[in-house]
């Protein structure tokens, strides 16, 4: 699930993923209600499946909605946006709308925690080349499949167009079928992230540079933000 909403505080315990939190399954095991928000029915189905395996499905509510307009039945103490997901809100306006909406769904004093990669222009130039990412046998057809990916960067707009395609081959290596998948993504510089949070009304409590709580510096690969909706608006 992409937005994890925990009612009542689970903060002050350690987590394998985020500082100052317990993991989602652990929060649910401690009796905290969890809400997952995703626009994709398929991702929510997978989430439900995994929650059942983890034995926490009875504490889970799933909402199929956009991050910019989901509605909780009560304000949350903690909302997380894991796995660089904020980059799916492609423009600055989209991100601002997402943060503003999340703010409205938090209780006063509630926290927003999310991670975002640190953009590396050199790595981006390397990823612009078409690369063969995988060669595997399709379990359903038995055919060999090649997966290729290329990323097209717009450095000014801070957007990435990810284009991936699979080539399905017959026993002689002749192409039977090619399927493309395309996705728009984006990035934020740390100063922009801070400005967006502060413009929204959040207080920034911490910026970590990785998931082990080391503080953010110029070498950091990640931006892990801990922000708080003030107690009094
Ligand atoms: C990087 S994946 C996160 C992986 C997975 N949801 C998880 O938490 O394990 C990003 C997810 O964001 C969802 N998503 C993208 N844009 C969204 C939006 N505007 N509103 C809600 N969900 C969105 C996608 O469907 C996808 O499941």
User: pLDDT tens across 3-37, in order?
Assistant: 666 665 444 334 455 665 667 777 777 778 899 99
Q: Which residues contact 200 (CB under 8 A, 6 or more apart)?
A: 96, 99, 100, 103
| Ligand 1 atom with least separation from CA of 3 | 8
Give the span between the Cα atoms of 194 and 68, in whole angstroms. 19
How far is the centre of ligand 1, averaged over its atoms, from the C-alpha of 89 (Å)?
10
pTM over 0.75, yes/no? yes
Q: In the sheet that 3-6 helps form, which strands lie side by side, from edge to edge?
A: 60-64, 34-38, 3-6, 76-81, 106-117, 222-228, 203-208
How far is the centre of ligand 1, averaged over its atoms, from the C-alpha of 39 (Å)?
7
Cα distance between the two ends of the chain? 29
Whole-number pLDDT of residue 11: 43
**Exposure on the CB side of residue 119, measured as CA atoms within 13 A:** 21
Whole-number pLDDT of residue 232: 76
Give the span between the Cα atoms of 175 and 144, in whole angstroms. 10
How far is the centre of ligand 1, averaged over its atoms, from the C-alpha of 222 (Å)?
18
Residue 92 confidence (pLDDT) above 70: yes
Alpha carbon nearest to ligand 1 atom 2, residue: 85
CB of 63 closer than 6 A to ligand 1? no
CB of 38 closer than 6 A to ligand 1? yes
How far is the centre of ligand 1, averaged over its atoms, from the C-alpha of 175 (Å)?
32
Tens of pLDDT, residue by residue over 135-187, are: 999 999 999 999 999 999 999 999 999 999 999 999 999 999 999 999 999 99
CB of 88 closer than 6 A to ligand 1? yes
Q: How confident is the model at residue 70 (pLDDT cuts 50, 70, 90)?
A: very high
Alpha carbon nearest to ligand 1 atom 13, residue: 38
Higher pLDDT, residue 71 or 22: 71
Q: Which of 205, 228, 224 is nearest to 110 (CA)?
A: 228
User: If you ran DSSP here, which 8-state letter would residue 214 be given?
Assistant: P
CB of 101 closer than 6 A to ligand 1? no
Picking from 15-24, 141-150, 195-204, 205-214, which range would have the lowest pLDDT averaged per residue?
15-24
Q: Which of 24, 38, 98 best tests ligand 1's pocket when mutated (most atoms within 8 Å of CB)?
A: 38
Is residue 164 within 8 Å of residue 181, measured between CB atoms? Answer: yes
CB of 66 closer than 6 A to ligand 1? yes
Mean pLDDT of all residues in the chain? 90
User: If you ran DSSP here, which 8-state letter would residue 171 be given?
Assistant: T
How far is the centre of ligand 1, averaged over its atoms, from the C-alpha of 139 (Å)?
26
CB of 183 closer than 6 A to ligand 1? no
Whole-number pLDDT of residue 15: 47
Whole-number pLDDT of residue 157: 96
């Amino acid at each position: 699930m992409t937005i994890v909403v925990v009612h009542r505080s689970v903060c002050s315990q350690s987590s394998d993923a985020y500082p100052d939190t317990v993991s989602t399954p652990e929060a649910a095991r401690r009796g905290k209600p969890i809400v997952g928000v995703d626009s994709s029915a398929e991702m929510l189905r997978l989430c439900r499946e995994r929650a059942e395996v983890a034995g926490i499905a009875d504490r889970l509510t799933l909402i199929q909605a956009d991050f910019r307009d989901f509605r909780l039945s009560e304000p949350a103490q903690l909302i997380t946006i894991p796995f660089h997901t904020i980059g799916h809100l492609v423009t600055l306006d989209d991100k601002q709308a997402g943060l503003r909406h999340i703010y409205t769904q938090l209780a006063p004093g509630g926290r927003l925690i999310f991670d975002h990669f640190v953009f590396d222009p050199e790595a981006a130039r390397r990823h612009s080349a078409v690369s063969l990412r995988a060669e595997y046998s399709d379990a359903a057809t038995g055919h060999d499949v090649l997966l290729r990916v290329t990323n097209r960067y717009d450095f000014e707009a801070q957007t990435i167009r990810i284009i991936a395609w699979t080539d399905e081959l017959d026993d002689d290596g002749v192409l039977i079928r090619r399927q493309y998948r395309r996705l728009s993504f984006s990035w934020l510089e740390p100063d922009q992230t801070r400005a967006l949070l502060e413009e929204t009304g959040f207080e920034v409590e911490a910026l970590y540079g990785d998931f082990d709580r080391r503080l953010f510096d110029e070498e950091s690969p990640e931006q892990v933000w801990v922000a708080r909706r003030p107690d009094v608006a």
